[in-house]
A and B are shown apart, each in its own frame.
Chain A
Amino acid sequence: MIRQFQALSKKEFYESAATFRLYILLAVFLLFGMLSPLIAKATPDLLAAIDTGMVIEMPEPTALDSWTQFFKNVAQMGMIILVILYSGIMSNEFSKGTLVNLLTKGLSRSVVILAKFVAASIVWLASYLICLGTCWAYTIYFWGSVEISNAFLTFAAPWLFGEILIALLMLGGTIFSNVYGSLFTCFAAVVVLNAISLIPKASRYNPASLAGGTLALIAGAGEPSQFIPAMVVGAVLAAGLVVATIEVFKRKRV
């Protein structure tokens, strides 16, 4: 089991390198890490440079603006790119039939799913950490060191939401065997989660608030305990989705 897992996750890493997925994800998130403080810093200058005849009073940008940009970029564009890049995670195997040989030789089906999920998670974690590190470094460079309360909780939340998205892509891909199934499942789930957040009482437990909601913590508003239920629900949801994917995959004809 362990050896199968190691071999398969190694194969996943080689695959993401060979399809350029790894490099694109790293490059894009490195860019987001740089762009966030840059946009925050440059907005007043840009507005000043456009001579509209109107006087627009802009407050001096702060480190908080930089973090706002970070959450915006990661939670919107970053997640979209993650989803598009990983949309073929299951369906490519089905359409090319690359798993048939391995499975008939006795490779465990749960190992396949787990190895894929873990490999994708590690790539996502690495990209996210690069983005975070770059943004952090530039923010300190421009605004000096800033005290960030509850840093771990604040920054772990968007990562956890990405994990949920990866699990959703795998479940959708396993059920429908194609890229559109993956994308549709992911999109539908995000719509449902956002719809739930319209109910005020449920929003506390809603993983959708993980994507960008913890920004309030940096600003000093909001309590960390406010987000812990959503974190727990999110973690359980991600784990549940992986288990569901394994179960569906076990019953599937490849």
Chain B
Amino acid sequence: MTIRHALLALLSEGPRYGLQLRQEFEARTGEVWPLNVGQVYTTLQRLERDGLVESDGGDDDGPQKGFKITDEGRAELAAWLRTPPDLSSPPRDELVIKVLVAVELPGVDVHEVVQTHRRYLVQLMQEWTRLKEYAADRDLGFGLAVDAELFRLDAVVRWLDAADGRIKRASLEDRDLPRAPLPKTPRKVVLRP
């Protein structure tokens, strides 16, 4: 989420002071994404420059300066909410690269490499689930943010499980099949930066 649109969203509920915006942002995201004061003020200045918010005109840039959203700001927020984020290109995934490298390296037990990452991920999930167990019912925003993190980590674990199975099957086929010369296939994997 961009801070720009988060601030617009908070201001769409009514005028706020800078400091108030920071506190509410952190409260709404369940403090999962801490924000520093500098980020808040720089972003507010840009929003004001672009005509999306108005300040109450005080010369002082301190925490007592008030802000409100403009009609252009509301239109920008509505458009942003409905614009799908760019998920079309795969992210450069360090874990995928590690597993691809491990498969090729002689003397490396790729299953052990996979398991090391799986254990780490499940441990992280245990910590998030513990947070959810104690706090998610009390705070909708926090519950949603924790769910998102759990589903993201879960997807990575599922990929590791699938990779583990695929590598195992491939090694069994390798062992069982007579060694006929295989057609040379391109093995380069292109991962966009």
Whether chains A and B associate is no
